[in-house]
Structure 1
Amino acid sequence: MFTLQHDNDPKHTWLHNNSVTVLEWPSQSPDLNPIEHLWRDLKMAVHQRLPSNLTELERICKEEWQRIPKSKCEKLAASFPKNTHGCIRSKGCFY
């Protein structure tokens, strides 16, 4: 037996229909999913460079991902315990 954590997107109805145990988790919570902050930064950086085709999009995404400083990732990871406690205190709402 296992428990699955996912983003609570409503289209994942097959999970409940097939008796999969799902961890309760706020949908797309940036407080509990630090990677969401990095995806936002990546999206903004790529958008500014205006890729004109799929090959260019892939190249730019890789370049911009490599430019994300390690310190930013460390800061997000370090914020996780505080964010988790804040989310629990606010009963799953953004705080």
Structure 2
Amino acid sequence: MVTEHLEEVQITQFVWPARSPDMNPIEYVWDDVGKCLRRHVPISGQDGSGQLRNILVQEWDNLPQNVIQNLIQSMPRCLQVVIIARGGNTSY
């Protein structure tokens, strides 16, 4: 039904592989920030969300720029691996 409607209104859809890897480098950044957050004592109580926000901002600000730069520089290599795997599973 949705596909038919999209065809009727002439909206072109991308062919997207079912097992498409997430190639967004921000996922790796969030993973690093998450690892930093886990080093802190458990956050609880009424002000838990405020504490979490403050710690998250602090860890984000402390993230070394070379981590982000390395991710950016790795994208061409990463995309080449995905192309070779024809959109299938990769080591990334």
Question: What 5-or-longer segments of structure 1 have no aligned partner?
Answer: 1-13
1:76 aligned to 2:76? Answer: no
Q: 2:4 and 2:51 mapped to 1: Cα distance?
A: 40
Runs (4+) of structure 1 exceeding 4 A deviation are none
Query: What is the TM-score with the length of structure 1 in the denominator?
Result: 0.69
Q: Which has the higher strand share?
A: 1
- Counting matched residue pairs gives 78
Q: Whose Rg is larger?
A: 2
Q: TM-score, normalised by structure 2?
A: 0.71
Residue pair 1:51, 1:60 contacting (<8 A) in 2 also: no
Q: What are the Cα deviations for residues 54-86 of structure 1, in whole angstroms up to 9, with x where unaligned? A: 000000000000111111111000000010010
| Counterpart code for 1:39 | W
Which one scores higher on RCO, CA 8 angstroms, separation ≥ 6? 2
State whether structure 2 residue 16 is matched by structure 1 residue 24: yes
Please state whether the residue corresponding to 1:51 is helix, strand or coil. Answer: coil
1:17/1:48 Cα in 2 relative to 1: closer, same or farther (>3 Å)? farther
Distance 1:47 1:23 in 2: 38
CA distance in 1: counterparts of 2:38 and 2:53, whole angstroms: 12
Aligned residues with identical type, % of pairs: 22
